[in-house]
A and B are shown apart, each in its own frame.
Chain A
């Protein structure tokens, strides 16, 4: 158990809908990362927050947004969902979020999103 929690575990919804995925980082970690994992794209970095502020952006679509709250939990909002958004969404956390390689990212169990 990494100490990172994600809810819900599974989510089934329809095209055009909006969903919110939630992540609680490990105790003491200040940085949260969101990744999307699909069979054809592998693990893709979406966005990183550090202590409430956006730090880095990856391949995140404009239909997706995220935020980190004062208690350091984070939410990833996915809107106008398309079939291609079906994937596993992982949250990871690290202490510093400095990007140093020793700042290990610990991954949560993921949320499996199915868009029908």
Chain B
């Protein structure tokens, strides 16, 4: 079993839809959780980071962490064609290397 699992998609939604992206993990020592966005042929860029269970909102993006279920989510409201990219979840323990999920490919259709 991989440490971090993520549905690779592709996920295709109409513009304006609410998108839900999810990751599960097996290491209960993970404490810090991040979401990166990667456009085609570009490097990943950090979207959001969270610590502990609960929700964190930033504009149209909401990150949710449920440590008891070892499950994290990223919600995108009012999705735009510019949101079309691959979304990578990432997580780490206190001072260890970052472990990335395989990524979910998202297409937002105008």
Q: Which residue of A lies closest to B95 (CB)?
A: A99
From A98, A104, A108, contact of B43 by CB (8 A) = A108
| A99/B96 in contact, CB under 8 A | yes
A99 to B101, CA, bound (A): 18
Interface contact A4-B43, CB-CB below 8 Å: yes
Q: Is the CB of A58 within 8 A of B97?
A: yes
Q: How many A-B residue pairs have CB under 8 A?
A: 53
Q: Does residue B100 face the partner (Cβ distance < 8 Å to A)?
A: yes
Q: Which of A56, A100, A101, A105 has the most CB of B within 10 A?
A: A101
Contact A48–B97 (Cβ < 8 Å): yes
Q: Knowing A42-B103, A101-B32 touch, does A56 contact B92 (C-beta < 8 A)?
A: no
Which residues, 47 to 68 on A, are CB-close (under 8 Å) to B?
Answer: 48, 56, 58
Which listed residue (A44, A45, A56, A105) contacts B46, Cβ 8 A? A105
B78 within 8 A of partner (CB):
no
Nearest B residue to A110 via CB reads: B43
A-B contact pairs, 19 of them (CB 8 A): A2-B43, A42-B101, A43-B88, A43-B100, A43-B103, A45-B98, A56-B97, A90-B44, A99-B96, A99-B97, A101-B31, A104-B46, A104-B49, A106-B45, A106-B46, A109-B41, A109-B43, A110-B42, A110-B43
